[in-house]
């Protein structure tokens, strides 16, 4: 019997014994149709990972029931959205898209308060709102919400699940998509599965990785990387109550889920569909690189991690096709790209661009940025980057050492330099960053800090250096300007859009002081918002003025982006700028529209050979940012310090 026939027989059998009587006739038809289309692929992935287990088909049957329940609970409005998205699936490549990531408590403080912030989101043109993890979590330290105790319950401090659904509806009416975290590599040690495990229930102990002694943990640890070495060495935590070692890649209270157990896959799928059914347009796959463990490897980016994510994608396609995955793989660039694809994650953070934008600010050079983007920026046409400059985490220097080597840069030494530079230890540095996760064994570290503080605003204000303030503002606009124009969804990180400085108050908070990432998790108050929206009529301080200038600058650029299709579905070609301080790329869409972006990363004027204008064809047009016109016969183009040009072909 052929393989295809096998799958069909399997589906027929499953359907025979699946009760669809709880579904409306329409839903039952829809469900069967979608299963016919996507079950073969789901079957292939699922049996690839679990096929050797005697009860694989039992779990597959259960999974189909979970998907059925997902469809059953999906609201009519979301089913309508499914239909529309299936008709025009590439919404995320639109020039209209602008993202914002924020913490509910730091901008609310509750979900209900966020309704009042919608005008602010609209002023920035936000269409994609990522609310940082808002689920029930342990009191005190919960890794900023990334230790989830209940996926179906909103943290009571922030509101209720009904509040969240109401907000999702209100946002959708304003054309803003809600994006939620799917923290599926681990749960908190207070999740009901963990609690049952603590009570000694074998079934739930098998939801996690648990060992009676150090034999196996020691073997694994020979090849594992330590993620938070400043708080806890190694990747396992001894639990007194169970007398077992538990796998905890991150903090001791975050227990890694055991995906070699199909029951875990099914259970978490049910949680995932709950989040999809709240009305989220995209799910951020937190720490997805870690979900599969393989002895003798670093247990990151394993093949079966990919297969599992593909299986989850099949589940979405069957039960909630409007929802797409966003990959959060902050790993080697080649590995980042492997998560991107229509069968896996349609969206992905772009950590390489992020890290190298900072690198170019520090070195004033663009060779590594140019070479790396030439190699890694191209991805499938039906997928997109989410381009960001800062986020709630630290900055890790995730460039490819081989690419650096080709340019004569030693990766290890260069990372050391970048850490020194951004923590302000390097003489002449403008940055006020804070070291994070310093590894006592090898001296490795990463860097935290707000956009403004890392761009030099903090030190310039302290020194009363107005030129420094101006430069800091220009740096911020330069970095964001590239994320707005290079191709993908630009993602603002809330509080950076108004250039807020590092917030050191976490050092007085016992639950936060050990985790320096809190320095860049900063409140945006109603006063900040009034200031940004131009509602404050008094003389502004130097800092307030910088804040307004950044906000206005970003707003203007985003407006231009929205009004020019070439920022949306268009190819990106990374060019050689003929000046080591400048970065250049060309966008071109299927209608022949072109845009040439030129950026100067140094504090001195720089010239680029006018030849580059020929990439725009015969009639180079005007710079959309300054309205300066180009004839095309210019022998050089001069850029002011930190200037960026968006030259649109005529
Ligand atoms: C993510 O980051 C979150 O963004 C963090 O805030 C969480 O603490 C963590 O997961 C655990 O939930 O190690 O330093 O891609 O770089 O997933 C941040 C690999 C992290 C990791 C990333 C992780």
Domains of the chain: 566-649 (2.60.40.1180)
| Residue 407: predicted pLDDT | 97
pLDDT above 70 for 417 = yes
Q: Which of 152, 143, 148, 156 is nearest to 110 (CA)?
A: 156
Question: How many A from CA of 329 to the centre of ligand 1?
Answer: 9
Question: How many A from CA of 100 to the centre of ligand 1?
Answer: 18
Percent of the chain at pLDDT exceeding 70 = 99
Ligand 1 close to Cβ of residue 147 (< 6 A): no
Token digits of residue 399: 């460039």
pLDDT above 90 for 617 = no
Ligand 1 close to Cβ of residue 227 (< 6 A): yes
Give the ligand 1 atom nearest the CA of 300: 19
Dihedral through CA 605, CA 610, CA 615, CA 621, nearest 10? 80
pLDDT above 60 for 1 = no
Lowest mean pLDDT among 43-47, 229-233, 439-443: 439-443
pLDDT above 90 for 620 = no
Say if CB 486 and CB 585 are below 8 A apart: yes
| Residue 227: predicted pLDDT | 87
pLDDT above 70 for 294 = yes
| Residue 438: predicted pLDDT | 80
The residue to mutate among 250, 300, 352, having the most atoms of ligand 1 within 8 angstroms of its beta carbon, is 250
pLDDT above 90 for 513 = yes
pLDDT above 60 for 340 = yes
Ligand 1 close to Cβ of residue 393 (< 6 A): yes
| DSSP for residue 145 | G
Q: Give the mean pLDDT of the chain.
A: 96
| Residue 445: predicted pLDDT | 85
| Residue 2: predicted pLDDT | 57
| Residue 266: predicted pLDDT | 98
The residue to mutate among 147, 247, 330, having the most atoms of ligand 1 within 8 angstroms of its beta carbon, is 330
Q: Which candidate in 105, 181, 328, 623 is catalytic? A: 328
CA pair distance 304, 291, nearest whole angstrom: 9
User: Taking the CB of residue 131, how many other CB atoms lie within 10 A of it?
Assistant: 25
pLDDT above 90 for 143 = yes
Give the ligand 1 atom nearest the CA of 437: 14
| Residue 419: predicted pLDDT | 96
| Residue 444: predicted pLDDT | 77
Ligand 1 close to Cβ of residue 102 (< 6 A): no
Q: Is 328 a catalytic residue?
A: yes
| Residue 286: predicted pLDDT | 98
CA atoms within 13 A on the CB side of 446: 19
| Residue 5: predicted pLDDT | 64
366 three-class SS: coil
CA 599 to chain centre: 25
Confidence at 3, pLDDT banded by 50, 70, 90: low
pLDDT in tens, 558-593: 999 999 999 999 999 999 999 999 999 999 999 999
Ligand 1 close to Cβ of residue 328 (< 6 A): yes
Ligand 1 close to Cβ of residue 143 (< 6 A): yes
pLDDT in tens, 62-107: 999 999 999 999 999 999 999 999 999 999 999 999 999 999 999 9
Confidence at 4, pLDDT banded by 50, 70, 90: low
pLDDT in tens, 481-511: 999 999 999 999 999 999 999 999 999 999 9
Angle between helix 25-50 and 3-16 (nearest 10): 130
| Residue 117: predicted pLDDT | 98
Q: What is the mean pLDDT of residues 428-457?
A: 91
The residue to mutate among 130, 255, 287, having the most atoms of ligand 1 within 8 angstroms of its beta carbon, is 287
Q: Is 611 a catalytic residue?
A: no
Confidence at 383, pLDDT banded by 50, 70, 90: very high
Question: How many A from CA of 287 to the centre of ligand 1?
Answer: 5
Confidence at 441, pLDDT banded by 50, 70, 90: confident
CA pair distance 158, 108, nearest whole angstrom: 8
pLDDT in tens, 589-609: 999 999 999 999 999 999 999
CA pair distance 194, 255, nearest whole angstrom: 8
């Amino acid at each position: 019997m052929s393989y295809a026939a096998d799958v069909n027989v399997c589906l027929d059998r499953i359907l025979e014994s699946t009760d669809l009587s709880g579904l409306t006739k329409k839903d039952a038809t829809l469900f069967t149709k979608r299963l016919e289309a996507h079950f073969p692929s789901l079957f292939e992935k699922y049996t690839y990972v679990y096929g050797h287990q005697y009860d694989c088909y039992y779990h597959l049957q259960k999974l189909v029931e979970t998907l059925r329940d997902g469809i059953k609970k999906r609201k009519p409005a979301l089913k309508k959205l499914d239909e529309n998205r299936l008709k025009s699936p590439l919404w995320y490549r639109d020039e209209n898209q602008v993202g914002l990531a924020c913490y509910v408590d730091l901008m609310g403080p509750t979900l209900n308060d966020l309704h009042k912030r919608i005008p602010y989101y609209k002023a920035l043109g936000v269409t994609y709102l990522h609310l940082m993890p808002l689920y029930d979590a342990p009191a005190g330290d919960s890794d900023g919400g990334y230790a989830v105790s209940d996926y179906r319950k909103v943290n009571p401090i922030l509101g209720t699940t009904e509040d969240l659904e109401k907000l999702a509806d209100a946002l959708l009416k304003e054309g803003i998509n809600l994006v939620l975290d799917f923290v599926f590599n681990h749960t908190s040690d207070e999740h009901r599965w963990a609690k049952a495990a603590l009570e000694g229930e074998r079934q739930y102990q098998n939801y996690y990785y648990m060992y009676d002694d150090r034999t196996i943990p020691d073997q694994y640890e020979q090849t594992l990387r330590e993620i938070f070495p400043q708080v806890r060495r190694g990747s396992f935590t001894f639990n007194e109550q169970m007398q077992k070692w538990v796998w905890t890649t991150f903090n001791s209270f975050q227990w890694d889920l055991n995906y070699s157990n199909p029951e875990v896959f099914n259970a978490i799928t049910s949680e995932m569909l709950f989040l999809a059914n709240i009305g989220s347009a995209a799910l951020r796959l937190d720490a997805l690189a870690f979900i599969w463990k393989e002895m003798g490897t670093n247990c990151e980016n394993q093949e079966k991690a990919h297969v599992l994510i593909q299986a989850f994608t099949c589940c979405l396609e069957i039960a909630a096709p409007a929802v797409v995955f966003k990959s959060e793989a902050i790993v080697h660039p080649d590995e980042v790209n492997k998560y991107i694809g229509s069968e896996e994650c349609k969206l992905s953070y772009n950590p390489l661009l992020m890290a190298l934008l900072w690198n170019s600010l520090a070195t004033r050079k663009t060779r590594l940025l140019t070479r790396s983007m030439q190699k890694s920026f191209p991805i499938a046409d039906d997928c997109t980057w989410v381009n960001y400059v800062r986020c709630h985490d630290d900055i890790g220097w995730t460039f490819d050492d081989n690419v650096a080597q080709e340019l004569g840069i030693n990766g290890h030494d260069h990372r050391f330099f970048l850490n020194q530079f951004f923590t302000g230890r390097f003489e002449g540095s403008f940055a006020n960053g804070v070291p994070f996760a310093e590894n006592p064994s090898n001296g490795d570290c990463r860097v935290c800090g707000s956009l403004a503080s890392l761009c030099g605003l903090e030190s310039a204000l302290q020194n009363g250096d107005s030129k420094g303030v101006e430069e800091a503002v220009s740096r911020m606009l330069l970095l964001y300007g590239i994320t707005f124009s290079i191709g993908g969804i630009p993602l603002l990180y809330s509080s950076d859009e108004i250039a807020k400085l590092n917030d050191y108050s976490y050092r007085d908070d016992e639950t936060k002081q050990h985790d320096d990432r809190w320095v860049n998790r900063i409140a945006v108050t109603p006063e900040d918002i009034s200031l940004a929206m131009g509602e404050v009529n008094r003389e502004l301080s130097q800092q307030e003025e910088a804040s307004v200038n950044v906000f206005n600058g970003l707003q203007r650029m985003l407006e231009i982006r929205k009004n020019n299709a070439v920022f949306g579905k268009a190819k990106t070609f990374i060019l050689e700028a003929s000046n080591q301080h400048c970065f250049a790329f060309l966008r071109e869409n299927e209608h022949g529209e072109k845009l040439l972006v030129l950026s100067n990363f140094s504090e001195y004027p720089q010239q680029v050979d006018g030849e580059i204008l020929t990439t725009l064809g015969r009639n180079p047009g005007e710079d959309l940012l300054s309205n300066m016109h180009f004839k095309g016969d210019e022998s050089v183009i001069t850029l002011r310090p930190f200037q960026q040009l968006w030259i649109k072909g005529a």
